[in-house]
Amino acid sequence: MQMQAAMLTEAHSPFKIETIDIDPPKAGEVLVKMAAAGICHSDWHLVAGKAPFPAPIILGHEGSGIIEAVGAGVKRVKPGDHVTLSWKACCGECFYCQQDQPAICDAHAAEINAGLMSDGTARMRWRGERVYILGGLGTFAEYAVVRQESVVPIRKDVPLAVAALVGCAVSTGVGAAIYTAEVRPGQSVAVFGAGGVGLNIIQGAALCGADPIIAVDANSNKMEIARDFGATHCLMSDDSVVAEIQKLSEGRGADHCFESVGIPALQETAIAAVRPGGIVTLVGITPQDAGTTILGQVITVSERKIRGSAYGSVNPTRDFHLFLDLYQAGKLKLEELVTQRYRLDEINEAYASMLTGGVARGVIVF
Ligand SMILES: [Zn+2]
Ligand SMILES: [Zn+2]
């Protein structure tokens, strides 16, 4: 079978739409006809040369679709099922899954990081050459062959463009507030970065009953949408932001600060803006070679805590359902996140638009 895919052949070059040969799913694998794929900032690190990758590769780690075929032994889904794809293929059995920390499950990590399937081979070829996939998925393509652990069957009454976002931005953001930080009612929250993930941290904090919820961004255009998602105050990211946050929290600093972008200097500001004894949750992924300066004494004597949040500490199988149920109940805004829709061959425009901060979330619709 053949399909169209957006391929990255080297860093610092645009995506190219190519015709790819695709093999049927092997045992334990499924073929997904993609419906939607989200434009997430994390893929950009590879394009920008900030993270090494095997090439040629199909990027995209946020998506939804319909199961077209299943390989031998697949019990989790059947053809016709709607699914949201998960970039963490949780095994349910490893040490981390047993500790109820499936977001850091390491069962398939080595092969997924290598861009391959669990048997160490690939299902895609381009001009006879092996094609790698990101996150065990590769959603920037008409079809994906993935492990059955990489899909979560979902209710069919949810638009698939909305369901795609649950696979990364929503889980990462809402999960960070609910699970990683464990925000409590009445606590003060500051969220640095009001993009796709930041808006979800804001609505996650609102679900937890936080007040005030302070959105911080360098782009004043994002203030209005931040308020729509539950921010009670919006601040520009400038030299006075720490003092402004302290003013809104009786001089102490916020109970919780979240950094959603992955910029070391912004992480340092988030640490400065949290109150003594408060919790800083780092959500954004920094470039691989970047370091963040943490003043050890400030952490020790004031008991400020720093938590890393991978995938919002969610359990994809459990929480994709939870988030879609909350959406259907009118308690989570998902449709409003999709501010721009693109065709696959518009992917370079989609990323250009994301980089200028113009959209909450762009989604490729197939
Ligand atoms: Zn992502
Ligand atoms: Zn596991």
Q: Which ligand approaches the C-alpha of residue 45 most closely?
A: 1
Q: pLDDT of 293-305, one tens digit each?
A: 998 888 999 999 9
Residue 358 has pLDDT above 70, yes or no: no
Q: Which ligand approaches the C-alpha of residue 170 most closely?
A: 1
Q: Of 75-84, 225-234, 264-273, 280-289, where does mean pLDDT reach its minimum?
A: 280-289
Q: What is the largest CA-CA distance in the chain?
A: 64
Structure tokens at 41: 């900032």
Evaluate whether residue 347 is within a structural domain: yes
DSSP H stretches of helix in the chain? 41-47, 95-98, 109-113, 160-165, 171-175, 196-207, 222-228, 241-247, 264-273, 296-301, 316-328, 347-355
Q: Which ligand approaches the C-alpha of residue 101 most closely?
A: 2
Q: List Cβ<8 Å contacts ≥24 apart for 90-93.
A: 90/149, 90/315, 90/316, 90/317, 91/149, 92/149, 92/317
Q: Specify the pLDDT at position 297.
A: 86
Evaluate whether residue 293 is within a structural domain: yes
Kindly state whether residues 237 and 333 are assigned to the same domain: no
Evaluate whether residue 113 is within a structural domain: yes
In this structure, are strands 361-365 and 338-342 parallel, antiparallel, or unpaired? parallel
Cα–Cα dist 232/213, whole Å? 5
CA of 135 to the centre of ligand 1 (A): 10
Task: Look up residue 140 and give its DSSP letter.
Answer: S
Question: Residue 241 maps to which CATH number?
Answer: 3.40.50.720
Kindly state whether residues 327 and 288 are assigned to the same domain: no
CA of 305 to the centre of ligand 2 (A): 26
CA of 101 to the centre of ligand 2 (A): 8
Q: pLDDT of 310-345, one tens digit each?
A: 999 999 999 999 999 999 999 999 999 998 999 999
- The predicted model gives 91-102 an average pLDDT of 94
CA of 99 to the centre of ligand 2 (A): 9
Kindly state whether residues 144 and 200 are assigned to the same domain: no
Evaluate whether residue 51 is within a structural domain: yes
Cβ burial, residue 63 (10 Å; 0-12/13-18/19+): buried
Q: Could you say which of 268, 290, 308 is where a domain stops? A: 308
Q: What is the mean pLDDT of the chain?
A: 95
- How many domains, in total, are found in the chain? 2
Kindly state whether residues 120 and 36 are assigned to the same domain: yes
Residue 359 has pLDDT above 70, yes or no: no
Instruction: Give 360's pLDDT tier (boundaries 50, 70, 90).
Output: confident
| SS3 of the chain: helix, strand, coil, percent, to 5 | 35, 25, 40
Kindly state whether residues 190 and 95 are assigned to the same domain: no
CB 173 within 8 A of CB 197: yes
Q: Which ligand approaches the C-alpha of residue 171 most closely?
A: 1
Exactly one of 41, 42, 150, 208 is catalytic; which is it?
42
Residue 357 has pLDDT above 80, yes or no: no
- The predicted model gives 85-92 an average pLDDT of 94
Evaluate whether residue 25 is within a structural domain: yes
**257 flagged as catalytic:** no
**41 flagged as catalytic:** no
Q: pLDDT of 259-296, one tens digit each?
A: 999 999 999 999 999 999 999 999 998 887 889 999 88
CA of 244 to the centre of ligand 1 (A): 30
Q: Specify the pLDDT at position 356.
A: 83
Evaluate whether residue 332 is within a structural domain: yes
- The predicted model gives 79-95 an average pLDDT of 96
3 state DSSP class of 232? coil
CA of 55 to the centre of ligand 1 (A): 20
Instruction: Give 354's pLDDT tier (boundaries 50, 70, 90).
Output: confident
**45 flagged as catalytic:** yes
CA of 102 to the centre of ligand 2 (A): 6
Angle at 95 between CA 89 and CA 96, to 5 degrees: 55
Single-letter amino acid code for the residue at 257 = C
Kindly state whether residues 300 and 319 are assigned to the same domain: no
Q: Which helix (H) or strand (E) element contains residue 105?
A: none
Q: Specify the pLDDT at position 295.
A: 87
What is the DSSP annotation of 237-254?
Answer: SSTTHHHHHHHTTTTS-E
Structure tokens at 322: 């939870």
Exactly one of 45, 82, 233, 256 is catalytic; which is it?
45
In this structure, are strands 254-259 and 189-192 parallel, antiparallel, or unpaired? parallel
Q: Specify the pLDDT at position 327.
A: 97
Closest CA to 343 of 363, 327, 361, 324: 363
CA of 170 to the centre of ligand 2 (A): 21
Q: Specify the pLDDT at position 18.
A: 97
Kindly state whether residues 235 and 353 are assigned to the same domain: no
Q: Specify the pLDDT at position 57.
A: 98
Instruction: Please give the model's pTM, rounded to 2 decimal places.
Output: 0.94
Q: Specify the pLDDT at position 172.
A: 97
Q: Specify the pLDDT at position 339.
A: 86
Q: Which ligand approaches the C-alpha of residue 262 most closely?
A: 1
Kindly state whether residues 154 and 193 are assigned to the same domain: no
Q: pLDDT of 129-165, one tens digit each?
A: 999 999 999 999 999 999 999 999 999 999 999 999 9
Kindly state whether residues 318 and 263 are assigned to the same domain: no
Question: Residue 48 maps to which CATH number?
Answer: 3.90.180.10
Q: Which ligand approaches the C-alpha of residue 315 most closely?
A: 2
Single-letter amino acid code for the residue at 326 = L
CA of 197 to the centre of ligand 1 (A): 8
Residue 363 has pLDDT above 90, yes or no: yes
CA of 156 to the centre of ligand 1 (A): 23
Task: Look up residue 311 and give its DSSP letter.
Answer: G
Q: Specify the pLDDT at position 163.
A: 97
Q: pLDDT of 157-206, one tens digit each?
A: 999 999 999 999 999 999 999 999 999 999 999 999 998 899 999 999 99
Domain hosting 358: range is: 2-168+313-365
Exactly one of 168, 208, 234, 257 is catalytic; which is it?
168
Q: Specify the pLDDT at position 347.
A: 97
